[in-house]
Amino acid sequence: MNMKPQIRNRKYATEITADNDGEEVSIAGWVHEKRDLGGVFFLIVRDLGGFAQVTLHKDEVEKKLFERMKKVPRESVVAIEGEVKSEKKAPNGYELLPERMEVLSEASQVLPLDTTGKVGAELDTRLDARFMDLRTERTKQIFIIRSRVLKAIRDFFDERGFIEINTSKIVSAATEGGTALFPISYFEREAFLNQSPQLYKQMLMASGFDRVYEIAPIFRAEEHDTTKHLNEATSVDVEVAFVSDDEVMKLLEELIAFVYSKVVDYPGLAKLNLNLEVPKIPFRRITYDEAIELLSGAGEQIERGEDLSTSAEHILGEIIGEHYFITDWPCAIKPFYAQPVAEDKNICDAFDLMHPRLELASGSQRVHSYELLKKNIESKGLSADNFEFYLNAFRYGMPPHAGWGLGVERLLMSMLEIENIREVVLFPRDRRRLAP
């Protein structure tokens, strides 16, 4: 076995076509399947792009090559050199007639998972052997789509003149109160993993950055063990100065439609059996009070001032049937930085973007008055002293601003009709899982 591979003229399985008939190429990848049909032996090699059929006619080849191919365990990594021959019945319309095979890494015999997708496995088993689960077509496609979605988000903001920012994930104070934080030891002090870039993106509004976004992890130490919560998630956070909540809601719905439009034509969607459509914008908007009335009509009683439960979200989703916004929330259940509406200081210019299945994003017009912000922090039972670094930014010229935070995993799972949020994260962190 060579330490350094010498693969001449390597091509991906999907780069080769029947037009390459007669050419010498190499393919390299994993041994997906082996089929011995007596006179012919097929070895299916899988690489990033797809599959190649290696066909060995036993009468024409050296016996040694056949013996080695027969013996090489499934999922071993091999490089195979040979001649392309057009073959209608093979994947991509060709087969490879092998001349040489190098085994670059031999796989152990008992596999933790079946990579052909023929034998299903529990999610926990799949996550335990995630590196191998990612070899299955469906899982691989989820993460290729995730990458496309992230690129679409960046393109969207780039086209609109946004500045991408990176704020610290090690912080001294909670964004919204102390309950859901992971404490870490920071030399001789205690610090926390940030639950949201909220305070920092707002401070940048005082710096004159005007339109910023960040795509980064958020850490929530909540004990929940649900199919829509992670303890480490990825958030798309946006903050815009000199605009109202109405404008950032439009921005949000445009982003959702844009992201869908960049995924609908992707051929890999077929692996997920999805028929994706771009949602129509503008999304319907209902107030919190209207939501409560709709729920009451459906037999679900929510006290005014109470947050919407998961079952309430499902019932509303059933009634409305497409993306929608819930606006005009009671300030009591929204964070201290949400701006009260002019007419009623108990109602805030805050909104949630909902998919019929679950919440995707939360946002608001922000308080930009230093005095009101300080008062709000204290009335939520928090100490203004802990927020001095943040409050300071409001004392020397802070424009009005608005923004939101959108969960990348929530967006993906709703878009791809995936039940469990853990499926759309490479290495999920939840109440029980800290490895791999």
Binding site for Mg ion (CB under 5 A): 362
Q: Are the CB atoms for 287 and 351 separated by under 8 Å?
A: no
CA distances in angstroms from 245 to 142, 291, 350, listed in the order given = 32, 19, 8
* Closest CB 352 distance from Mg ion, rounded Å: 6
User: Between residues 340 and 405, which has the closer beta carbon with respect to ligand ATP?
Assistant: 405
* Closest CB 221 distance from ligand ATP, rounded Å: 10
**Cis peptide leading into residue 436 (ω within 30°):** yes
**Count of residues of this chain found to bind ligand ATP when the rule CB under 6 A is applied:** 14
Residues of this chain, 396-415, that bind ligand ATP according to CB under 6 A: 405-407, 409-410
* Closest CB 402 distance from Mg ion, rounded Å: 15
* Closest CB 329 distance from ligand ATP, rounded Å: 11
The interface partner of residue 241, options being ligand ATP, Mg ion, none and the CB cut-off 5 to 8 Å by kind, is: none
The interface partner of residue 360, options being Mg ion, ligand ATP, none and the CB cut-off 5 to 8 Å by kind, is: ligand ATP
Helical packing angle, 245-261 and 408-415, nearest 10°: 50
Closest CB to ligand ATP: residue number? 407
Candidates 8-16, 139-147, 148-156, 357-365; binding stretch for ligand ATP (CB under 6 A): 357-365
User: Between residues 55 and 364, which has the closer beta carbon with respect to Mg ion?
Assistant: 364
User: Between residues 81 and 359, which has the closer beta carbon with respect to ligand ATP?
Assistant: 359
* Closest CB 301 distance from Mg ion, rounded Å: 22
136: left (phi over 0), alpha (psi -120 to 50) or beta: beta
User: Between residues 354 and 373, which has the closer beta carbon with respect to ligand ATP?
Assistant: 354
Closest CB to Mg ion: residue number? 362
Candidates 46-54, 127-135, 314-322, 360-368; binding stretch for ligand ATP (CB under 6 A): 360-368
Cα–Cα dist 366/353, whole Å: 17
* Closest CB 334 distance from Mg ion, rounded Å: 8
The interface partner of residue 416, options being ligand ATP, Mg ion, none and the CB cut-off 5 to 8 Å by kind, is: none
* Closest CB 67 distance from ligand ATP, rounded Å: 51
The interface partner of residue 361, options being ligand ATP, Mg ion, none and the CB cut-off 5 to 8 Å by kind, is: ligand ATP
User: Between residues 353 and 412, which has the closer beta carbon with respect to Mg ion?
Assistant: 353
Residues of this chain, 112-141, that bind ligand ATP according to CB under 6 A: none
Is residue 364 part of the contact set for ligand ATP (CB under 6 A)? no
The interface partner of residue 47, options being ligand ATP, Mg ion, none and the CB cut-off 5 to 8 Å by kind, is: none
Task: Give strand pairing partners of 92.
Answer: none
User: Between residues 29 and 405, which has the closer beta carbon with respect to ligand ATP?
Assistant: 405
Is residue 362 part of the contact set for ligand ATP (CB under 6 A)? yes
User: Between residues 357 and 410, which has the closer beta carbon with respect to ligand ATP?
Assistant: 410
Residues of this chain, 211-250, that bind ligand ATP according to CB under 6 A: 220, 229-230, 233, 235
Cα–Cα dist 6/25, whole Å: 13
The interface partner of residue 407, options being ligand ATP, Mg ion, none and the CB cut-off 5 to 8 Å by kind, is: ligand ATP
* Closest CB 361 distance from Mg ion, rounded Å: 7
Is residue 197 part of the contact set for ligand ATP (CB under 6 A)? no
Give the 3-state secondary structure of the chain: CCCCCCCCCECCHHHCCHHHCCCEEEEEEEEEEEEECCCEEEEEEECCCCEEEEEEECCCCCHHHHHHHHHCCCCCEEEEEEEEEECCCCHHHEEEEEEEEEEEECCCCCCCCCCCCCCCCCHHHHHHCHHHHCCCHHHHHHHHHHHHHHHHHHHHHHHCCCEECCCCCEECCCCCCCCCCCEEEECCEEEEECCCCHHHHHHHHCCCCCEEEEEEEEECCCCCCCCCCCCEEEEEEEEEECCCHHHHHHHHHHHHHHHHHCCCCCHHHHHHCCCCCCCCCCCEEEEHHHHHHHHHHCCCCCCCCCCCCHHHHHHHHHHHCCCEEEEEEEHHHCCCCECECCCCCCEEEEEEEEECCEEEEEEEEECCCHHHHHHHHHHCCCCHHHHHHHHHHHCCCCCCEEEEEEEHHHHHHHHCCCCCHHHHCCCCCCCCCCCC
Residues 6+ apart with CB under 8 A from 361: 252, 352, 353, 404, 405, 406, 407, 410
Is residue 11 part of the contact set for ligand ATP (CB under 6 A)? no
The interface partner of residue 312, options being Mg ion, ligand ATP, none and the CB cut-off 5 to 8 Å by kind, is: none
Q: Which of 153, 193, 360, 398 binds ligand ATP (CB under 6 A)?
A: 360
* Closest CB 409 distance from ligand ATP, rounded Å: 5
Positions touching ligand ATP (CB under 6 A) are: 220, 229-230, 233, 235, 359-362, 405-407, 409-410
